[in-house]
Structure 1
Amino acid sequence: MNWRDLLYFSKGERRALALLLCLITISWILLLWTDGKRMPIASQTDAHRTENRQASGEKRIITGKNTSEKETDSIRQESVSHPNGNKNTLKGKNSALAGNSSYPIGKKRKEYSPYTRTEKYTPGTLVELNTADTTILKKVPGIGSTFARRIVKYRELLGGFYDVSQLAEVYGIDEERYQALAPWFIADTLHIRRLEVNALPAAVLRKHPYLDYRQAKAIEQLRKQKSRLSGWENLQLIEEFTDTDKKRLTPYLSFK
C-alpha cells in the first residue's frame, strides 16, 4: 500500500473538509468581532461610574493587607473637611472609615488601658466593716464591685454593722458565701449611727431595715402620749415589738 493512498480524499470528502474550514474561520471572525465590540462598552460604563463618584464626592477606600503602594499614597493624600472646619487625614496602609471618614489632625487617640486585676488581701487580714469603702472591700477574696456596693449601701441603711453576722442580710450573700467572708471582717460598734427616737418622725424611722411602717407609727403615737420615751421599757408596752426586735434594734435606737 502506497503512503499516498492515505492522503487521498474523494471529491465529496474534499467538499466537506472545505466547508468545515469555512465554518471554523467564520466562527473565529465572529468571536473576535464580538469581544472587540464589548470592550468599549465596559470602558464607557467605568468612565460613567468614575464621573458619578467625582460628582457626588464619594471616595473609594481600599483597605486590607494587600493594599498597593499606589493606592495607599492616594489615600494618604486625600483630606476630608470635618463639619467644624478642621481637616482630617488618613494614615497607614490599613486605614478604613468606620462612621467617621478620618481621624482629626492633632487629636491624640485614647490609649488603651488594660484591665488591672484587684490585688487581694492575704489570709489573716481583718477588715473593719463599718469604715471600709468599696476599694477596700474589693480586696477581700470573694467580693467584687457588685457586692462591695451592696455592702456599703446596706451599711448606710442600717447605720452601721454591730455584728459581722449581719453580712448574711446583704442581698445575694447566701450561707456559703457568708461563711467564706466572715473570717475577713470585724465590726466596731463605735461607728454605728443611732436614730433619735424622740426627735425623728415616723417617715424617717420607717426607712431603717429593722423597722416597718406599723412600728414607726406606733413609736410616733406613743411619743405623743408620753411626750418623751425613756427607753425600751416604753416600747415593750407596744405589741408591735417583740424580744427579737429589741435585740436587733437596741444598737440603733437612742432615747436621749
Structure 2
Amino acid sequence: DDPELALQTAQQFARLNGAVQDECDFQIGASNCSISGQADRQVTLHFARVFNRDFGQVKARAAAKVAPISSTTGIVPFGVLEDNFEFGKIVTLKAGAGKNHYPGWFGALCLTGNGANNYEKDIRNGYDGQISIGDIIPVENGNMSGPTQDGIEHRIDQCDHSPCCTVNSFQEGCSRILIVPIVKIHQINKGNSPVDVKVVGFAAFLVTEYTGSGDENTVKGAFVRYVTTGGTGGTPGDYGLYSAYLYE
C-alpha cells in the first residue's frame, strides 16, 4: 500500500548488508505487488591481473513479490462467509445470540476437535495444522460464549505494544491479528443448519473489542492487509492476506 516506504526499506536493508550509496537500485512493479533490485559494485581483481585487469564490475539482481495465500497454519476457529467479507469498516466477526444467519451456528469451526476446550485453545494459539483452499471444515454448533470470551480476551491482553495496535497502525505478529478462513457453506442439514464449510480464501482480522456478556457476546474488528507465511499455489482470491517469495 506504500511503494515509497517499500523502496526506503529496501535501501535500508541494502545498507545494513554493506551496500554504499548508488550501488543499488530498486523498482516497484506496476501492480505494487513486487519489487526488484540490482546491485553493481567495482571490485579489485587478483588472479585476473595476469591479464592486466586490476578491477571488474560485479552485478546481481533479485526480485520478490507478494501474492494471496492458498494454504497456511495458525488459523482461528471463526468462519467468515465470503459474502460478509468487507474491507474498510468495523465488522462483527462472531455474533451473539439472535444475530446468527443459520439456526444453531454462530460462525465457530471445529479444527483441533469438538468441544469448548479445543475451541478456546485454537482461539488462543491458532490451529497448528495446515489448512488449504478447498478443504472442508466441520462447524462447531452452539454460541460458545465462555470460550470465545476467554480466548479473545487472552489475545487482546497479549498485545503489549505502545501505543496499542489499531486497524490503522499495528505491529507485525501482534496477538490481536487473527488469521481466519473465508468460507462458503458446503452442506446443510434438514434443519437448515450448516454441517460443514468449504475454504475459499484467507484473511487477517484485527480484533478491536469483545463486547457483551453471556450469550450476547460479539467479537468486533476489521480486516487488514497483512503478510504472513503460507503457500501461494493456484489462483486464490485476494482477501488481503499475502505471502512473500523470491521469483528471480
Fold-level match, TM-score > 0.5?
no
Give the greater-gyration-radius structure (CA).
Answer: 1
Higher percent of residues as strand:
2
In the superposition, the TM-score normalised over structure 1's length comes to 0.16
Relative to the length of structure 2, the TM-score reads: 0.16
